[in-house]
Structure 1
């Protein structure tokens, strides 16, 4: 069994624990199709065998060493065109939970990653079910590298690598804390505090207001991230002009 005791109103109060599954997002989607799950329900696994990222990439996670969880929300207050606001709130909730353990180098990388320096600590995959012009359900998949110390690629890191403990980090305890910070940010969003959320998000945005090399459509260019628009597109200043990029239209290059 997987027991957590978050001090929340609803988020994480009900969980479904699976020792192993292909994808917690897929399991959450099946729950929505079969029953009417309560908002804030979590699907948790120790071993996700077919996790995926925003670009369809496989998520590498060793069994029992990390946090792999999907959160079910009902953000009907958001229009379909406003879905990136949920990404902002979730990213900030993760930051709030992990930053006391990692420190000032923790950043939110547009559109869906959590970075320490130039290395990836975690990722987010949000899948929405629409009803007309609003979001009826959101499945928020989150994967965070916690106790794993060996990866198949150099751009990955973990909490244990960044802030080593003599023993492993307590995963249920971390998840309880994460539930609390996620709920706080989600309630901020639900109550209309978008200005605060956006200010906080930009303050923590990876490479914000720094010149960097990007790739789009096979072309490399130098530019400076200056913000995001209301639909979540990334605004990059290039040679005195501002261009906007949607998901998958631009990528960061390692320098």
Structure 2
């Protein structure tokens, strides 16, 4: 494991990706910063972060023996690792909102962005990015955002939070994750936001429907029992859960 701490960078994922293209890095090389200026979420959304108050982490994971049709298993493992870390910090009401948000109650406190390098039919390596709101208390452009400080009422030591996350992530990804696939999904579903609850969704970017989340498929699609009684699966760009 190698940890590289940066004073500032536009994106830890981009920095790690460019560094790995220039030279061979050891497995579980980590880039982290407290000042990520152009952090990205899914679909190129911007991650709002105040200098010195939050964490941005990217991890290079090599030699992943997972086929591309099981690609979402990486999200499952990373999500569970982060939830376990935050549980150890006594953060309440933790959930994962499909596909990549970490919530406390109804508020987003973290986000995951995994970028995979594919070789043939398998994932060759992954760059696992994670942003966590730690001590920031004001969010101008993210009405559903919160932070550990806002929720718990006190400041957190950024290094302590960082090492808690890295320890759990390393332990989780050091095991043969395919062997525990069903167990991991069962645990993931137990922490899935709004599972089993009648909710409102936007599909096709404009149509409102009501339905109940039944889970996430092995290929990462959201399974929703819609109001006409049919069970349908939706990809990332096809559906949006309304809070």
Q: State the TM-score, normalized to the length of structure 1.
A: 0.91
Q: Which residue is 1:241 aligned to? A: 230
Change (3 A) 1:188 1:210: farther
Query: Could you tell me whether the CA contact under 8 Å between 2:91 and 2:148 is conserved in 1?
Result: no
2:194 pairs with 1:207: yes
Task: Give the deviation of 1:222 after TM superposition.
Answer: 0.4
Task: Give the deviation of 1:188 after TM superposition.
Answer: 4.1
Measure, in 2, the Cα distance between the counterparts of 1:244 and 1:223.
12
Measure, in 1, the Cα distance between the counterparts of 2:197 and 2:90.
22
Q: Which residue is 2:169 aligned to? A: 182
- Structure 1, unaligned runs of 5 or more: 1-12
Deviates more, 1:121-130 or 1:183-192: 183-192
Alignment length (residue pairs): 240
Q: Which residue is 1:157 aligned to? A: 146
Q: Which residue is 2:74 aligned to? A: 86
Task: Give the deviation of 1:184 after TM superposition.
Answer: 2.4
Deviation by residue 1:2-59 (Cα, 9 ceiling, x = unmatched):
xxxxxxxxxxx31112111111000110121011111111101121111110021100
Q: Which residue is 1:5 aligned to? A: none
Q: Which residue is 2:13 aligned to? A: 25
- Structure 2, unaligned runs of 5 or more: none
Deviation by residue 1:176-232 (Cα, 9 ceiling, x = unmatched):
111111122223453611121111100000001111000010110000000111101
Query: What is the root-mean-square deviation in Å for CA atoms of aligned residues?
Result: 1.3
Measure, in 2, the Cα distance between the counterparts of 1:134 and 1:35.
22
- The partner residue of 2:34 within 36, 46, 52 is 46
- The partner residue of 2:184 within 190, 194, 197 is 197
Listed as ranges, the matches of 1:127-138 within 5 Å are: 127-138=115-126
Structure 1 counterpart SS, 2:134: coil
